[in-house]
Structure 1
Amino acid sequence: MKILILCTGNSCRSQMAHGFLQSFDPSLTVRSAGTEASGKLNPKAVEVMKEIGIDISHHTSDSVDLHLGEEWDYVITVCGGANEACPAFTGKVKHRLHMGFDDPSHAAGTGEFIHSEFIRVRDEIKDRFLRFYKDELIRG
């Protein structure tokens, strides 16, 4: 099973989703990519994932162009707000899904508030991708 998770910057939400899916089932082939890949991971995303025992620090922020020639069982977009354009994937895909999440890297305020936003979004991603895993991939 090959799953590609797409976002714009590929530094935060798509990376967390990638980490969760891989933790649910290491036999899955999971990649994440961005239409405007930042080239680096958001350190706060790495931090909040590490807090729950998932290390994504070795992930890379890659351009979607690297994956256009491949076939995918699922391509899942994770961009959220109305002001955010979700990337379109033009490659060979069996199933396209959208699961929108707020971008915690846009949170402003105290360090404590920003950290809580990363935790909130992380937990929303975990819940939604666990449901996807159980409903689509196990029962599929």
Structure 2
Amino acid sequence: MSFIEAASVDDLPVGTMKHVEIRGIEIALANVNGTVYAVSDRCGHQNASLSKGKLDGKIITCPLHHAQFDVTTGKMVSGMVELSLPGMDRTPKKFQDALKAIGELTSHIKTHDLPPFPVKVAGNRIFVKV
């Protein structure tokens, strides 16, 4: 394993995330109060791209089922959350039933912690050890 250049500091303002791929490994870079962290960009629940989710402080929320992870450690903070979308009560019952069935099926999938990756910043460049 060695440090590989992943991005420019200018590409990652405070409070944002960025998807990078290094040697075939998808990584989410996150800038938390000026410190850059790197974790797997694939949710430990159903493989969704976490960099498309939300970063709030040091917590990444998955865009698919809203599982949450601490970007500083990769540890899961909370598992998937059943969504209640506005207007769902007005959708056809068969559609509601289908979504409920999918939710029941996916709720049994275990959510795993994310592998973290060491990061170093040199000048304006971000390096990740993979």
One fold, TM greater than 0.5?
no
TM-score by length of 2: 0.29
The structure whose Rg is larger is: 2
Give the helix-richer structure, 1 or 2.
Answer: 1
Which structure features the higher share of strand residues?
2
